[in-house]
Amino acid sequence: MGTARRDLLKWGAGIGAAAALGGLALPGTALAATGATTPRGLPTDGWMGRLDGNLSLLDLTVPGTHDSCCQNPAYGTEWSHTQNWGLPQQLAEGVRFLDIRCNGLQGAPDELGIYHSDAYQHIRLQDVLDQCRTFLGSHPGETVLMRLRNERAGGQSLDDTEFMRRINHYLDGLGYRGLFHFHGWPTLATARGKVVLIADFVNPWGLIDWSSGENDYFDTQDLWQTGGLDPLGTKGQRITAQFDKAFGNPSYPKMFVNFLSYAGGYWPKTSSQALMDRTVYPYLSARTQQRARFGIVPMDFPDFHVNVLRMLIDKNAV
């Protein structure tokens, strides 16, 4: 999918960033109230601040979003539309894992733009980092876990060396190094006020390395396409199996990840609604008083599933 050079330059210059900061809610979008609390009394904008700082991040349930910046179907199609809330509202509503996918930005040789495959989402990496820094500055008891991915798609695809060069430009040239925690799973006290960097790009730096399967850091369920007569049923079985595995292994030395999103020929809204109704909500609602370390749980359209989002936050309540 192509985007005109003049449009990329316009957005890269910051005009689009202002719109992104505003949230870009679509007409008719259901938005949760800010300053809300969960059923067990945790404030959605500051739930981590109520937890013991000695907890490892591995001990938590961390609600997240999948393709976190893909708010507008005009920047792709409905296949690439996965969120209605912008990042500031996601963070205010309790989301603490962001799925950030980058290609190069045309006309800006040092910058990275946020993409879904080759579809530019009209927001730059520095806009994402500035929004996180603003939130953490006003909520110092919180942390944000960020998967930062080299998307490697379309005409703005970057090789490993160039992607790392641009990351270094952000860290040192633009002064974002101090925003990040880089190495190993920290305690919550260590992570507070920081973005925990999860590297989904080739690097020699010993960062927390992402896996869509299993490695030394992660045990991930991310079935996004499958066959059979009931693919959403199969996906639902994978979701509940991963929840059960996480609950049954409270001392497991890896971060569980359990994607609630699914593509496989369905619009994201359709698959998300079906999976929430058939699988996720019944599973969680039957266990509302059960503390659990489910790990990272990314989803599409949390604004349509606020009950699930808040039940996940409540898994951290004592």
What CATH number does the domain containing 170 carry?
Answer: 3.20.20.190
pLDDT at residue number 22: 31
pLDDT at residue number 30: 35
pTM to 2 decimal places: 0.89
pLDDT along the chain (318 residues), means of 10: 32 33 30 72 97 98 98 92 98 98 96 97 98 98 98 97 98 98 98 98 97 98 96 98 97 97 93 97 96 98 98 94
**Strand bridging mode 97-105 / 208-209:** unpaired
Which domain covers residue 109, as residue numbers? 5-314
pLDDT at residue number 318: 74
The structural domain count of the chain equals 1
pLDDT at residue number 34: 57
